Structure 1
């Protein structure tokens, strides 16, 4: 992280400590990250329960897929397939690697690499564990656009991984950028990309809507935990720096 960013963060930390005290700031940081993560985990459990019992929000799965099928055309199918590949096992790592390399060179720090790698590892673990636990079948191949996929459906790996990785990169950029406009545009661009990847999975018939919804919820929960840990570690490092 650059000296300017560190100085700005240290100034903010000093102000927060003055108002809340060190223990108060610690508790507030924990609450700000872990309470949303807990609520999101509960929401993910609700979606899982709906899928298992085939009621609630799961009742939207077939109607939404049917609606997506009516929107298809050869040209749109090709474009959406290219889009969804950006969130896949090749496209997303390539995009992330390029972004991380640029951030590391810009900030002269390994933090973007460490944080993004940690985020991706946790996201991959959630994806693999979720698919193994639920073992849900994907929509019928007759309703899908090739190339077909045959792994378990719940949660959507493209949706979960893209949210976590792009969310982490957006978080880092928000820390590094100096203007509110640039930060807003960063968050907006990341959100649009993640939304597009998730919806592409439903459009192509590769996932049910609830596969994508639970992926987004789990991704947000993991991202909240990751950011909380990073903020705590960063605050501790800034407190150890000499006043300047």
Structure 2
């Protein structure tokens, strides 16, 4: 009697888990389709020159009309802009990524560490590929407040900060059970990503549409990697949420028979 009830309870739990997984896939596909459409539409408008007036308006609004080499605001605001743009720099993002990968390896979560490395590494490659493909020059309306050496569209800082911070936030959310903590982590990652993108326009090194495209592409890539990670977890090929190595070993046992 007890074994029969346990089996039915376990089967019902599996069905609910499968339904949630399928719903999550459908929702992710919908969001990815919307993001892809938004990026394509934005890219077409940029290539055709339809966004140039908007770009000029925003870029010049962030400069002193009497001296275009001077961003609006006091000097401490300019320092904040430099600080935020550094948070999206390759050195900071790579240091943070390697630190997280090292932590995951010490926690014996090797497959999750590999997923993080692939997500961020492939995001960097995609960013460079898009830049070379669109080959959009940097803004020349105002002096640059930061050294640049790649093309403009999409913004690499905006895209890679979205990929890195949102991926790491999603990873941390996997080990949090409380909804408010998940929301806090995701909100923090989003605010960091927004701050980095705005700083690139403020520093005069990107058109606003470069940043919009970077945010869109970065969020889209993060969604794809996150869904891929969920699929791997569902198939048992990646460590489950919040599981320790001992718990992962125990999950391989029959929940009824114990073997």
TM exceeding 0.5: yes
Q: Report how far residue 53 of structure 1 moved.
A: 1.4
Which structure dedicates a bigger proportion of its chain to helix? 1
For residue 38 of structure 1, what is the aligned residue in structure 2? 33
Q: How does 1:94-105 map to 2 (within 5 A)?
A: 94-105=95-106
* Relative contact order higher in (CA < 8 Å, ≥ 6 apart): 1
Q: Report how far residue 172 of structure 1 moved.
A: 0.7
For residue 84 of structure 1, what is the aligned residue in structure 2? 85
Q: How does 1:1-244 map to 2 (within 5 A)?
A: 17-19=14-16, 27-55=22-50, 57-70=51-64, 71-105=72-106, 107-140=107-140, 143-237=142-236, 241-244=252-255
Q: CA RMSD in A?
A: 2.4
Greater C-alpha radius of gyration: 2
155-164 vs 83-92, which moves further: 83-92
Q: Report how far residue 17 of structure 1 moved.
A: 4.2
Q: Report how far residue 145 of structure 1 moved.
A: 3.7
Tell me, which stretches of 5 or more residues in structure 1 are unaligned? 1-12
Tell me, which stretches of 5 or more residues in structure 2 are unaligned? 1-9, 65-71, 241-250
TM-score, normalised to structure 2's length? 0.78
Q: Indicate how the Cα distance of structure 1 residues 136 and 16 shifts in structure 2: closer, same or farther if over 3 A, else same.
A: farther
TM-score, normalised to structure 1's length? 0.83
| Superposed CA offset, 1:106-153 (max 9, x none) | x4312442122111122112211111111101111x613433314210
Q: Report how far residue 29 of structure 1 moved.
A: 4.1
197-206 vs 89-98, which moves further: 89-98
Q: Indicate how the Cα distance of structure 1 residues 19 and 184 shifts in structure 2: closer, same or farther if over 3 A, else same.
A: closer
Q: Indicate how the Cα distance of structure 1 residues 15 and 43 shifts in structure 2: closer, same or farther if over 3 A, else same.
A: farther
